[in-house]
Amino acid sequence: MVFRHSVSLGALSAALVFATPAFAQQTSADSSASQDQSTATRTAVMTGQAAPEETGADITVTGTRIPSRPNITAAAPITSVTSADIKAQSPSNIEEVLNRLPQISPDSQQNYQDSDGRQRIKLRSLGFERTLVLVDGKRLGTQNGEDAGIIPVSLIERVDVLTGGASSVYGSDAVAGVVNFILKPDFKGIRVDANYNFYNHINRANIVTDQAQKNGFPTNTGMVTDGGRADLTLTAGTALFDDKLKVSGFVNYKHADLVPYGNRSTSACQLIQTGKDGPLSCSLSSYSKSGYISPRSGANNGAAYINNPDGTRTFVPYGPGPNNAANPYDNYSYQRADERVNAGGFASLKLSPEIELYGSGLWFRDKSTNNVPTRVFAYNNYGSTPYQVNCNNPYLSGSQATALCGAAAGTSALVPLEIRYRLNAPDLVDTYINTGIRATGGVRGKIGTAWTYDVGGVYARNQQDWMPATLPNFSRINQALNVVNVGGTPTCAVGAAAGCVPFDAFSAGNANQAFVNFISGGVDPEKQRTVNTLTNVLANVTGDLGKYGITSPFAEQGLAFAAGVEYREDRLTSVGNAAFRADYGGSDSNLSQHVWEGNIELQAPLVQHKPFIEQLQVNGGFRLSKYNTNPDKFTTWKLEGLYSPVRDIVLRASFNKAQRAPTVTETYQATNINFSKQGGSQNDFCAPVPRLIADPARPGQTITTTAPLASQAVCRATGLSDALYGSALLLCPDNQCTVRSGGFTANPETAYTQTYGIILKPSFIPGLVLSVDRYRIKINNSLGYNDDSYYTDGCMRSNGDPFFCSGIVRAANGTLYATANTNPTSGFIRAGTTNYYFSISRGYDFQGQYGVRLGSVGKLDMSFNGSLTTFAGGQDSPLQPQRNCAGYYGNGCSQLLPKWSHGLRTTYTTPNGVFNASFNWRYVGSLTSANNSGDPAIGGTPDRAQTTFYRIAPISYFDLALTFNIAKRYSLRLISNNLLDKSAPILPNSYDISLARSNTIPARYDSLGRNIAIGFTANF
């Protein structure tokens, strides 16, 4: 739950000093009172109770619309991160705040080269679409446009993480749980927060540097200091008219320096391992700085050369080796260059106890870039027509002209060729500009002593402008290749565009920036703009019916009640200019959907303060939803129970039916019909295909057969007659069958979630609180995108399971080919966004807090948060086995959840609060290749078991934060995260595992090394 209260400026400034992780602390001149209050508050965070001294405060609770009442414990487990914990970490973005929580599937969108820079939150390995993000109890924005970067880190009072479904309270998307950011309310005075952090890492030789050196790629060893990140926030607020009008605002600036892959020895090149336990190599690119040349005619047609790196105008064979093939990712972003401005304001006007007007606004602009090498691209990026060069080109030596032109060498004849050239010029950049606004407003108040109301809403708009590096002009490259000798000066031939700069493609190390400018001219910049908007109107009323005597005869507190109605509209528009569509295809879109909802909640204390029943309570909730994109109505509900036999023990359980409606993008993908060709060369698996099989008549020998890939029984399950099995009539033109995406109804997912646990607060150990909670999440009709191979491979693997085989829709003649413009109803393989069987997440959460006073020495506070994941995966159909990816990676296990992880923070504070030291231990459990799991459902078979790079060992990180409180107005923080500078584990083929080419999992591990931070806060 969240405590809303006002504190004095002196108390607030002192509170910033303490770095106790799991509870908010406040200090005063009376350190004893401070200790008592902090103990009560941290107990309240874990149990969900109101702190005793805050009984009359305005308290908001995550997971319910009913305000908390004294002695009422939360029935659903809540994990909290406080402002003190955040300051002890000195994060620069929301991802870093949450990635340390075991309940969060970590992400690192600010680091991925291929990401769009938006920060999204994923609970329980179930994806960001299933995690509802709130700010002060109201939605952050749409799921499609979610960007937690708009949330100012320095203004966070607490982050509450609620496990399990909460759709009956908040509506769609609260399937995996809720993350609620509570911002500091009612600020008075002026505060300046400044943080600067950087990485200080020792690069060591390793298996990556060995491979990089074999290819002549530079490697960085020794001490490196880089990745500087600055964060400055100014906050101001005041209260007027006897505190009836409260106004506050902030402005924040953040900057992050680029850290390229080449700055770390562990990412000196992308490490590749081909096949099980195969040899290691670096990923190589034909876009060499020496220039890759391949004739497309004559005797050397198809040969691959590069210009001799020694500077002579000769060709040498292309291949691995020093100064030959290029490192395609050496300057990619390990940490993206980023610049962000964030601002906002908050206001409330209390006209009377019955009427309070409130409003808030947040705005941000974030610009991040990805480096892209400056290149002359292969001609097949533009089409099927090769480049052409004249055979009397003055840049061609005699041997080069002969290799390309044969007998035509020295003539003006034009011959086709392929050129790929990484120019020795400054990198181009992909640019993402994410902007957003979020405005809330409404009126709330109390009616008598029993009732409260809140009528308000949220408007959120997120805009992303993506400006990718533009391909050079194909025509201008050809013009620059047609070069003649004019008075001894190489000159573009007649007919070239004005300002044509000749292209010397036949020597190594071309660094002609004028040539780069020429081929980039005449090309419109590419741009795509995507806008997501949320319009959300809510009206809620709560009542304490105990004020009217509606109370159990065995309880002191009465029935509590909440009811509400809600309207919510999501809209997405996406527009690309002509240049963008030419390179990336697609079409503009304008999508929307809306929903009307009504909900009710009840909280019923049944027995209180009786022998053997200190507390017995049940809670319930129900919501009805109607979407304009679906003909059906949908219901969600919750049922919760609490039983406390004595004050020291609380048993709790929660059962939820939650739902996630398809986003507007998913709805569009599901309903919009389009046809394409099946990728690759795979044909109908019931058609003949040449392949080698064992010869039964000659052991150890093979024969060539044209038997289909699938068995006759599987083909029969797709509706094929036995007479057509193996028939050449089933072969699709160009070996590419038709794929139809869309034309289906995407229904909401339905999740049934359970949490049950125990809270222990032993009275004989004051200050100790322990809890254990079990969670079980099962999502029926999971929504997701599946390509055609999902159905074909599933049909074959399952030996004819109708769930998969129904996605293979044969024409009357048995074929899987249809003409798209006829809008066929058969003759295709299904693909697209659809509902499939279910997803599963199960495990245990463990929390512990202990605070002890050490008399004149000070006090010690400890906080523990651990999570044991027992199941993370799903099941594709009733006939398929369940896929459990907990603790595994690869073979579709992409959430990368160790079975066990935890955080343990211990904080010592001096009696006068002038100094504290906070030591944190982060433990990340092991991850094992799915090949070595022993579970066939995730590809674990004995013959595929790996002996190299099959396991990432557990790793422990240690963090230290020292805080000095100066004159109760200023605080200075010195922080070292990953104090021992542990390098990230090395993993070949990392892009297949983590979407990063840095040979590790940067979201999960501290991949850039030790991080040192200096923070300062001043209050005026």
Query: What is the pLDDT, as a whole number, of residue 295?
Result: 96
The string of DSSP letters for 940-988 reads: --GGG--SSS-EEPPEEEEEEEEEEEETTTEEEEEEEESTT-PPPPP-T
In whole angstroms, what is the distance from residue 90 CA to residue 972 CA?
12
Confidence of residue 798 (pLDDT cuts 50, 70, 90): confident
Mean pLDDT of 386-403: 95
Which residue has better confidence, 351 or 129? Answer: 351
CB 193 within 8 A of CB 13: no
Mean pLDDT of 758-781: 92
Secondary element (H or E) of residue 795: helix 788-797
What Cα–Cα distance (Å) separates residue 79 from each residue in 16, 66, 101, 321, 755?
21, 19, 9, 53, 13
In whole angstroms, what is the distance from residue 49 CA to residue 571 CA?
38
Instruction: For 479-580, list the strands marked E by DSSP.
Output: 483-486, 489-492, 528-544, 560-576
Decide if pLDDT at 455 tops 70: yes
In whole angstroms, what is the distance from residue 788 CA to residue 807 CA?
8
Give ∠ CA 522-579-426 in degrees, rounded to 5.
Answer: 60
Average pLDDT, the chain: 86
Place of tokens 């020597």: 507
Q: What is the amino acid identity at position 420?
A: R
Mean pLDDT of 188-193: 94
Decide if pLDDT at 36 tops 50: no
In whole angstroms, what is the distance from residue 1008 CA to residue 998 CA?
10
Q: What is the pLDDT of residues 554-568, one digit of tens each?
A: 999 999 999 999 999
Q: Convert 758-784 to b/e letters by CB count within 10 Å (16 or more is b).
A: ebebeeeeebbbbbbbbbbbbbebbbb
The 10 Å Cβ neighbour count of residue 490 is 15
Query: What is the pLDDT, as a whole number, of residue 2?
Result: 31
Decide if pLDDT at 645 tops 60: yes
Query: What is the pLDDT, as a whole number, of residue 957?
Result: 97
Task: Give residues with Cβ within 8 angstroms of 228, minimum separation 6.
Answer: 196, 197, 198, 256, 257
Mean pLDDT of 326-348: 92
Query: What is the pLDDT, as a whole number, of residue 294?
Result: 95
CB 465 within 8 A of CB 529: yes
CB 904 within 8 A of CB 920: yes
Residue 827 phi/psi, 5-degree rounding, is 85, 45
Decide if pLDDT at 737 tops 50: yes
Query: What is the pLDDT, as a whole number, of residue 562?
Result: 94
Place of tokens 């602009």: 365
Mean pLDDT of 715-741: 90
Decide if pLDDT at 287 tops 60: yes
Which residue has better confidence, 152 or 62? Answer: 152
Q: What is the amino acid identity at position 372?
A: V
CB 507 within 8 A of CB 291: yes
Q: What is the pLDDT of residues 874-929, one digit of tens each?
A: 887 777 789 999 999 988 887 788 999 999 999 999 998 899 999 999 999 999 99
Query: What is the pLDDT, as a whole number, of residue 943?
Result: 74
Mean pLDDT of 702-717: 85
**Which of 48, 41, 54 has the alpha carbon at shortest distance from 73?**
48
Decide if pLDDT at 19 tops 50: no
Decide if pLDDT at 34 tops 50: no
Give whichever of 27-31, 70-74, 157-161, 236-240 has the largest mean pLDDT. Answer: 236-240
Mean pLDDT of 819-840: 82
Query: What is the pLDDT, as a whole number, of residue 695?
Result: 65
The string of DSSP letters for 147-215 reads: -GGGS-GGGEEEEEEEES--HHHH-TT-SSEEEEEEEPPS--EEEEEEEEEEEEEEE---HHHHHHHHT
- 409-414, Cβ contacts within 8 angstroms, sequence gap of 24 or more: 414/388, 414/389, 414/390, 414/482
Confidence of residue 511 (pLDDT cuts 50, 70, 90): very high
Hey, is 94 helix, strand or coil? helix
Task: Give residues with Cβ within 8 angstroms of 360, minimum separation 6.
Answer: 136, 344, 345, 346, 347, 439, 440, 441
Q: What is the amino acid identity at position 730?
A: L
Residue 443 phi/psi, 5-degree rounding, is -135, 140
Q: What is the pLDDT of residues 209-236, one digit of tens each?
A: 999 999 889 999 999 999 999 999 999 9
Hey, is 817 helix, strand or coil? coil
CB 355 within 8 A of CB 445: yes
Q: What is the pLDDT of residues 74-111, one digit of tens each?
A: 777 888 888 888 888 888 888 888 888 888 887 766 66
Above pLDDT 70, what percent of the chain? Answer: 90
Q: Convert 886-922 to b/e letters by CB count within 10 Å (16 or more is b).
A: bbbbbbebbbbbbbbbbbbbbbebbeebbebebbbeb
In whole angstroms, what is the distance from residue 989 CA to residue 1001 CA?
11
Residue 456 phi/psi, 5-degree rounding, is -165, -165
Number of H helices, E strands in the chain: 15, 50
Decide if pLDDT at 270 tops 90: yes
Query: In angstroms, how far is the first alpha carbon of the chain from the final one?
Result: 30
The string of DSSP letters for 734-758 reads: GG--EEEE--S--PPEEEEEEEEEE
Q: Locate 857 and state its tokens.
A: 């020495």
Above pLDDT 90, what percent of the chain? Answer: 57
CB 114 within 8 A of CB 995: yes
In whole angstroms, what is the distance from residue 300 CA to residue 378 CA?
18
Confidence of residue 201 (pLDDT cuts 50, 70, 90): very high
Query: What is the pLDDT, as a whole number, of residue 799?
Result: 87
Task: Give residues with Cβ within 8 angstroms of 443, minimum separation 6.
Answer: 355, 356, 357, 358, 454, 455, 456
**Picking from 647-656, 666-675, 780-789, 956-965, which range would have the lowest pLDDT averaged per residue?**
666-675
Q: Locate 36 and state its tokens.
A: 């008592």
Decide if pLDDT at 471 tops 90: no
**Which of 830, 656, 669 has the alpha carbon at shortest distance from 754?**
656
Query: What is the pLDDT, as a whole number, of residue 70?
Result: 54
Mean pLDDT of 112-131: 80
Decide if pLDDT at 52 tops 50: no
Orientation angle between helical segments 474-481 and 513-520, nearest 10 degrees: 130
